[in-house]
Amino acid sequence: QMQLVQSGAEVKRSGASVKVSCKALGYMFTSQYIHWVRQAPGQGLEWMGVINPSDGSTSYAQKFRGRVTMTRDTSTRTVYMELTSLRSDDTAMYYCARDLRCSPIRCHYYYAMDVWGQGTTVTVFS
Amino acid sequence: QSVLTQPPSVSGAPGQRVTISCSGSSSNIGAGFDVHWYQRLPGTTPKLLIYGNNNRPSGVPDRFSGSKSGTSASLAISGLQADDEADYHCQSYDNSLSVVFGGGTKLTVL
């Protein structure tokens, strides 16, 4: 069964950093890109960026450039999302999600997300 | 402020048909990029409902359908059921090289 399993909830002080993990199970880890998406309370879904698990290349949303880093460890089939200089408005549920179509062989443009992690709550207090 | 615009809420009675709109621009939906829809039931993670404008993943009932025209897209739900009550989100891609989402629409089954 294909699934993405994320790390547990985090509570951080304003200004700190958080690193969330996402382990891929049940499919070839390097076959499809993985996105990070967040949803703050009362807000819509917000795209943060994407990583190619095969070579580690990334693309970040402009809003998060300079604060977000996405990495992967092929030996453990895990991708990571680190967000620095946390603020109270970073309080949100963070999801990893697999791209339905984008693979290292072919990626015309980022597409739908067919497998989602269970989400990781990040709470930032001042 | 989301790049794609959705109504905050829609409602309908059981058995009725409802539609949820998703309005974009010439740099995303109007540029020819596909639109996808997600359903988020209370307390759960988003689930892919429609991809590529009008395709249903395996297991999604044919009561759910999608369409796209110009710079907008729509999700239609026919034969409304109580367990369709959820948040619905549209998603596309933008010429700014970003994935874009709508703000989400809360469907209430009366």
Q: pLDDT per position in chain B (110 positions), as tens?
A: 899 999 999 999 999 999 999 999 999 999 999 999 999 998 899 999 999 999 999 999 999 999 999 999 999 999 999 999 999 999 999 999 899 999 999 999 99
Residue B43 CA to residue A103 CA, distance in Å, equals 30
Condensed to tens digits (0 to 9), the pLDDT of residues A42-72 reads 999 999 999 999 999 999 999 999 999 999 9
Q: How many CB atoms lie within 10 A of CB A88?
A: 10
Condensed to tens digits (0 to 9), the pLDDT of residues A82-116 reads 999 999 999 999 999 999 999 888 888 889 999 99
Q: Provide, as residue numbers in chain A, all residues whose Cβ is less than 8 Å from the Cβ of B96.
A: 62
Tell me which residue of A99, A100, A93 sits closest to A118, measured CA to CA. Answer: A93
What's the rounded mean pLDDT across residues A4-22?
A: 98
- Evaluate whether B68 touches B1 at the Cβ level (below 8 Å): no
Q: How many CB atoms lie within 10 A of CB B58?
A: 4
- Evaluate whether A95 touches A48 at the Cβ level (below 8 Å): no
Interchain CB distance below 8 Å, B57 and A35: no
**A100 in contact with chain B, both atoms CB, cutoff 8 A:** yes
Q: Provide, as residue numbers in chain A, all residues whose Cβ is less than 8 Å from the Cβ of B57.
A: 114
Interface size, chain A vs chain B, as Cβ–Cβ contacts under 8 Å:
61
Residue whose tokens read 């739900």: B77
Condensed to tens digits (0 to 9), the pLDDT of residues A27-38 reads 999 999 999 999
**Cα end-to-end span (Å), chain B:** 28
Nearest C-alpha in B relative to A40:
B103
Q: Pick from B51, B98, B100: which is nearest to A112 by CB?
A: B51
Residue A67 CA to residue A61 CA, distance in Å, equals 10
CA distance B31 to chain A (A): 12
**B28 in contact with chain A, both atoms CB, cutoff 8 A:** no
Q: Provide, as residue numbers in chain A, all residues whose Cβ is less than 8 Å from the Cβ of B6.
A: 44
Interchain CB distance below 8 Å, B2 and A44: yes
* Residues above pLDDT 70, as percent of chain A: 100
Burial A37-62 (b: 16+ CB within 10 A, else e): bbbeeeebbbbbbbbbbbeeebbbbe
pLDDT score recorded for residue A105: 87
Mutate which: B96, B99, B105, B106, vs A, most A CBs within 10 A: B99
**B96 in contact with chain A, both atoms CB, cutoff 8 A:** yes
pLDDT score recorded for residue A62: 95
